[in-house]
Structures are given as structure tokens and as C-alpha cells.
Amino acid sequence: MESFVINGGNKLQGSLYIKGAKNSMLPIMAASVLSSSDKTIDLHNIPDIHDMHVMKKILQSLGAEVQFQNNTLRINVKNLKSYTISDELMREMRSSIFLMGPLLSKLGKVRVTYPGGCSIGPRPIDLHFKGLEAMGAVIREENGSITASAPRLTGTEIHLDYPSVGATENLMMTAVLARGKTVIYNAAKEPEIVDLQNFLNAMGARVRGAGTETLRITGVKELGHCSYRIIPDRIVAGTYLIAAAITGSNMQVKGIIPAHLDAVVAKMREAGVTIKVADDSLEVVESDLHAVETLRTLPYPGFPTDLQPQMMALLALAKGNSNIIESVFEARFKHVDEFNRLRANIVVDGRTAIIRGVDKLYGAEVHTTDLRAGAALILAGLAAEGTTVIRNIQHIDRGYERIEDDLKKVGAKIERKRH
Ligand code: EPZ
């Protein structure tokens, strides 16, 4: 097992370059299965994170050739043969569900096991199934195993009950080779959806409307190959901006698309953080933290749930009382108990966390429950007086490429320790 040991209270300075988005990379890696070309698909700006290696293993288990070097993935699916993903690989990562649509589309069949929930909620996939069935798939579930088959998928109109990111992506990928037109209403509008559309279209698909609530897809016979650079990770960028604010530092994040963080910048400014915006960077200048009445997480372009734990760490040290309402996931407050071990003052009432700002946090031993909670604990540790030990940091490595190296670059006192 590994832990991070952080000596808090140090200011940060300088700038950090942000790599590609995990939540763009995963559906795009899955979408590579749709190619009928025997040429290699090159994906650039790929972060070296655990989830990438898991998706690489899954694609290789299906018969694809996948190499990763210097933040570039080279994928060739000409020998794709299997449509079954092992339970062991499914359990490693929920996002394996992104392969349902592409495998069903390409091979007419797919067998996965239920990806299961995680510590932020049950994570059902009913919206994925409803859309696949609407396009003609027959889905059977028996003791945790799901088999879907579809001799030919047919385009149709799909109304999502909720703008689910994963369901929107899975159904977009399924529709690109279906017969005729598909319209997806109430689609998710995240930047990662736009990235997936652009990747699919670069391979010859006909997808329109990503970034709006209505996607229109015209099925094509087959997809070719392409070379594609994924967008920067807005959640990693937001995490580092909050690291600067919580330590009262002046620091920049670069290589980003600032517009992807509009809701985050607005909320940080409301909390007393001075932020400068440039073409491909954001700079935290100074922070005079005070409470915000309400922060509600919402589908994009609202405040992203993936930065809720990090923002809670910041508000724990803001003057006054703030309320965070987690409206996207049912159980995304596991980090509250850990913050309170650092002597924050937070209580949870259903989907609302009431945060009473304190003057100081004090180092302690804390445990990571999920990826973003872990990142938030690092931020709290950077600000806390004394030493903070964060255990189970494998969760953090799923979505951040050696976060400790980035933070050390800007002056943090953080070390990775093996046990
Ligand atoms: C994606 O998860 C992201 N993961 C999550 O990031 C992110 O938090 C989430 O979108 C919301 O933005 C990836 O892109 C790999 P949803 P996803 O389907 O697709 C309910 C991170 O830390 N729902 O939009 O699973 C669901 O229970 C991760 O990088 C259904 O009810 O999110 C949840 O309450 C965490 N039925 C809500 O919708 C369904 O069929 C949002 O889920 C699907 C979802």
C-alpha cells in the first residue's frame, strides 16, 4: 500500500501544465473499437494514469494492439475478435461499460459483468440499456453477467430521463454504425461529449449537436482511422487552481481551455479568490476566503460534481457558513468524515453538506475513499498545520498522473511512501 505524507502550510508558486482529460480518453479509447481500418489510431495528450492502463488491458483482451509511450496511445483493432470482457477487468473500472455500445455495434454481441457501484453511489446503467434496446439490442442479465446482441442496430429517437454522461457517450458510439438516423434528446453537454463527437467524425462518422441537449447521428457503413489530440483535463485544472487558493498562493495552470471552467471560476471568485483568465491558462492571484451561500453540483455547464470535494476543502477554511448540495450523485460525501479528522466543521444532511468555516486545519491520518475525495484530502493537507498522512492513494492515481510530482514542482512538501 502507498500513502502521501504532506507537510502543510507552504505557499505554492509557478505554473503547472495540464495533460489530457481522463473522461475524454476513456470513451475515445472505447470508440476506437468501431474502426474498420487496419491502420493504427493515434491518440495524443494521453495522461499516464491507472484508468488508461486498465482500458488498455481491456482492449488488448479483446484482441486489439495497444501501445502507450510519451503520452501517446497507438491502437490497432484489425484483429479484434472477442466480445467478452472478464469480470476481473470490469471490476477494475466502471468505464468498461463504455465498450457495450461499440462492441455491440462492431461485432453484434457483447458480454460484460455489472460494473457495480462505487463509494459515490449505486451508479446504475438503466439509461444505457434503455437506449440500446430502443436501437434494437436484446439484453439479458443473469447473476451479474450481461449479454447484449443485435444483428443490426437501427437509428431511433431516444429521450434520456437524465443527461447521463456515460449513457450519452455509449449511445452516441452505438448510433454511428446503426442503420438510419438517431436523435438523442436531453443529452449530456460536457466538453468530453464534444471531444468524443469530434473523434468519431475524424474517423468518418456523422455526429452533430454535441455540447447541446440534442444529438443527431446519421449511421454510416464503416469508420476509418485518425490521429487525434484529446482536450485538457478541466477537473485536474480545477483541482490545482483550488490548491493555489487554499494555500493563499499565486499560481497558474496552463494548456487548458478556460471556458470549460467557467462555473468553477465563478464560484471561486464568489468565495473570494482573485483569478486572471488568459487564452489557454488561468491564474490564481490571491485569496481572501469567505463562505458562499450555496454551491449546487449540476450537469455541465453547472458546477461539476468532480470538483465538489475539492471545493469543500476550500470552503472549510472560508469565513462563515457555506452549503454544498450534491445533486448528481447520491452518496458523494464520504470525504466529510475525513475532513473532520483534520478538524474541519462539516455536517451532512441528506444531499446537503453544511460547512462552518474554521481558522485552521490540523494534520492527521486520513483515508481516501474515491478519486476526487483523495485529491481533496491532498488540498486540505497542503493547507493544514503539521503533517497529514493520506492512505489508500491508489484511488488518486486513477485520475492524476503522479500528482505529487506536479505539486512538488510548485513548492509543496509532499512525498509518496510505501508501506
Ligand atoms: C461520468 O460518470 C464521469 N466518469 C464521472 O467522473 C462524473 O462524475 C459523471 O460523469 C458526472 O459528470 C467518466 O466520464 C469516466 P452519469 P457517469 O451517467 O457517466 C445516474 C471522476 O471522478 N445514472 O452522468 O457514470 C447516476 O447514478 C468520475 O472522474 C442513472 O441513474 O455519470 C448519477 O446519479 C466520477 N442511470 C447520475 O446519473 C444511468 O443509466 C450521473 O451519472 C446512468 C446514470
Helix/strand/coil (H, E, C) string of the chain?
CEEEEEECCCCCEEEEECCECHHHHHHHHHHHHHECCCCCEEEECCCCCHHHHHHHHHHHHCCCEEEEECCEEEEECCCCCCCECCHHHHHHCHHHHHHHHHHHHHHCEEEEECCCCECCECCCCHHHHHHHHHCCCEEEEECCEEEEECCCCECCEEECCCCCHHHHHHHHHHHCCCECEEEEECCCCCHHHHHHHHHHHHCCCEEECECECEEEEECCCCECCCEEECCECHHHHHHHHHHHHHCCCEEEEECCCHHHHHHHHHHHHHCCEEEEECCCEEEEEEECCECCCEEEECCCCCECHHHHHHHHHHHCCCECEEEEECCCCCCCCCHHHHHHHCCCCEEEECCEEEEECCCCCECCEEECCCHHHHHHHHHHHHHCECEEEEECCHHHHCCCCCHHHHHHHCCCEEEEEEC
Q: Going by CA atoms, what residue is nearest to atom 5 of ligand 1? A: 306
CA 282 to CA 291: how far, in whole Å? 22
Query: Bridge partners of 3?
Result: 417
> Is this prediction's pTM over 0.85?
yes
- What pLDDT shows up at residue 37? 97
CA 192 to CA 336: how far, in whole Å? 28
Q: What is 2-18+232-418's CATH number, 2.60.40.10, 3.65.10.10, 3.30.930.10, 3.40.718.10?
A: 3.65.10.10
Atom of ligand 1 nearest to the CA of 118: 35
How far, in Å, from the CA of 305 to the mean position of ligand 1? 9
pLDDT in tens, 335-354: 999 999 999 999 999 999 99
- What pLDDT shows up at residue 117? 63
Question: Minimal CA–CA distance to 380: which of 250, 235, 252, 239?
Answer: 239
How far, in Å, from the CA of 164 to the mean position of ligand 1? 6
CA 350 to CA 352: how far, in whole Å? 6
pLDDT in tens, 89-141: 988 888 889 999 999 999 999 999 987 667 788 888 999 999 999 999 999 99
CA 360 to CA 383: how far, in whole Å? 8
Best residue for ligand 1 mutational test, from 28, 55, 162, 395 (most atoms within 8 Å of Cβ): 162
Q: Going by CA atoms, what residue is nearest to atom 32 of ligand 1? A: 165
Atom of ligand 1 nearest to the CA of 23: 14
Atom of ligand 1 nearest to the CA of 26: 15
Question: In the CATH hierarchy, which top-level class contains the domain 22-229?
Answer: alpha beta
CA 274 to CA 201: how far, in whole Å? 39
Q: Going by CA atoms, what residue is nearest to atom 8 of ligand 1? A: 306
How far, in Å, from the CA of 165 to the mean position of ligand 1? 6
- What pLDDT shows up at residue 116? 66
Atom of ligand 1 nearest to the CA of 120: 35
Please give all residues whose beta carbon lies within 6 A of any atom in ligand 1, as ranges.
22-23, 26, 95, 121, 123-128, 162, 164-167, 188, 305-306, 328-329, 371-372, 399
How far, in Å, from the CA of 395 to the mean position of ligand 1? 17
Q: Going by CA atoms, what residue is nearest to atom 44 of ligand 1? A: 164
Q: Going by CA atoms, what residue is nearest to atom 27 of ligand 1? A: 123
Domains 2-18+232-418 and 22-229 belong to one CATH topology? yes
Best residue for ligand 1 mutational test, from 120, 123, 307, 371 (most atoms within 8 Å of Cβ): 123
The answer to whether residue 118 is catalytic is yes
Atom of ligand 1 nearest to the CA of 121: 27
How far, in Å, from the CA of 38 to the mean position of ligand 1? 33
- What pLDDT shows up at residue 112? 93
pLDDT in tens, 212-241: 999 999 999 999 999 999 999 999 999 999
- What pLDDT shows up at residue 96? 85
Q: Which of 5, 54, 107, 118 is catalytic?
A: 118
Which residues does the chain have with pLDDT short of 70?
116-117
Q: Going by CA atoms, what residue is nearest to atom 10 of ligand 1? A: 165
Domain spans of the chain, in order of start: 2-18+232-418, 22-229
